[in-house]
Amino acid sequence: MLKEEVSRYYSDIMEKEPDVSASIAAISTLLKLLEHDKSETVQELDLNLQSAVEVITNTSFRVTGVSSGCALFMRFITFAKLDNITFADCKKVMLDRGKVFLKKLTEARNKVAKITLPFFVDGINILTHSKSRVVLEAMKLAVNSQKRFHVYVSESAPDKSGIEMYNCLKKLSIPCTLILDSAVGYIMERVDMVMVGAECVVESGGIINKIGSCTMAICAKELKKPFYVLTESYKFSRMYPLNQKDLPNNFKYTANNLNDDNLLNAHPSVDYTHPSYISLLFTDLGILMPSAVSDELIKLYL
């Protein structure tokens, strides 16, 4: 597979399948590459995959979720290649396991929705930020289970993804209200809990998410409202940012912005929320406290 093909395949998924997250898109692209790859040695395969990861990272889409997905895939390859002697055997095993792997990953969202269900207490008011597929899935399940609740959605500038979320909720006939980003402090006293998704969960248990999440979390903490994060475990990533400045530039800015000389004028698209603001993480591995994230990552990467 050529670089252009990788790029096209990935862009195709990102554009045509709005239900697929960036991590999954990256992983399925890499699996596709693995299928068509003609390399003869593990080393060559590694190199090919790495160059494909680079291609994916350089597309015009946001890359926050991509890094954890790619890292997970490389780890998956490492586990598979340890077990077999000949390369042909190894590749067959990789492809077989790849399918199981992808299936497990795609089941994750449903699992998260299920464990979140008991938290939708009757008549609850929920605040959410931007558009998150997991949060939407959880709310869909809740409304289908005859739960009564009201959702406040912040508009989420600059891409106004909150409006998209609002429309999706409307379509599911979930009572919802669109609010301004600047009204988060105003609305906080009225809500019972905050529920957001995450683009990436870092080792400290903090999250990297659409800009404005951090503001919301700080606000929630001050008014003592629980701040829940719904996320799939494949978004766990081996990073340890200590503050906003630590976030890699390609997370915060799109590829177009990065070429500009002066990043001061560019608006960052994600921010980092410290784990002390997060009450619980709802993942397909169960309901976790922020400190559990490092545990999971250590188990995987040690």
Partner 1 sequence: MLDIIDEPHEMLLDNYISNIKRKKWENNYTIAEETVKLFRHFIDTIKWSTTKELLNQLRDYGMKITSALPLQFIVGNIVRRILNIIREEYIDARKNTEEEIDLQDSLHKIVSSEDDIDDYNTIVPELKLSIFEHLDEFQVEIESSNEDIAKQALEHIHSNEIILTVGKSSEVEMFLKKAAKDRTFEVFVTECAPLNHGRQLALNLSKHKIQSTLIPDSTMFGIMSRVNKVIIGVDSVMANGGLRTFNGCHAVSLAAAHYSVPVIVLAPMYKLSSRYLCSYNQDAFNEFVSPDGVLNYSDSVVSKVDVYNPTYDYVPPENVTLFISNNGGHSPSYVYRLLSEIYHPLDYDLSIH
Q: Which residue ranges make up the site for partner 1 (CB under 8 A)?
A: 72, 75-76, 79, 97-98, 100-101, 104-105, 118-119, 121-122, 124, 192, 233-234, 236, 279-280, 284-292, 295-297, 299-300
CB of 76 to partner 1, least distance (A): 5
On the CB side of 11, CA atoms within 13 Å amount to 10
The dihedrals phi and psi of 102, each to the nearest 5 degrees, come to -65, -35
Helix axes 87-116, 64-82, angle to 10 degrees: 130
Residues 6+ apart with CB under 8 A from 161: 130, 131, 210
CB of 260 to partner 1, least distance (A): 37
Whether 232 and 199 have beta carbons less than 8 Å apart is answered as no
> Measured from the CB atom, is 254 or 294 closer to partner 1?
294
Q: Which is nearer to partner 1, 161 or 273 (CB)?
A: 273
Nearer to partner 1, 143 or 168 (CB): 143
Give 18 or 123: the residue with its C-beta nearer to partner 1: 123
Cβ nearer to partner 1, comparing 120 with 253: 120
Minimum CB–partner distance for residue 211 and partner 1 (Å) = 27
Least distance (Å) from partner 1 to the CB of residue 104? 5
* Shortest distance, position 299 Cβ to partner 1, whole Å: 5
Q: In terms of DSSP H, where are the helices of the chain?
A: 3-16, 22-36, 42-57, 64-82, 87-116, 133-144, 161-171, 184-188, 213-222, 249-252, 255-258, 292-301
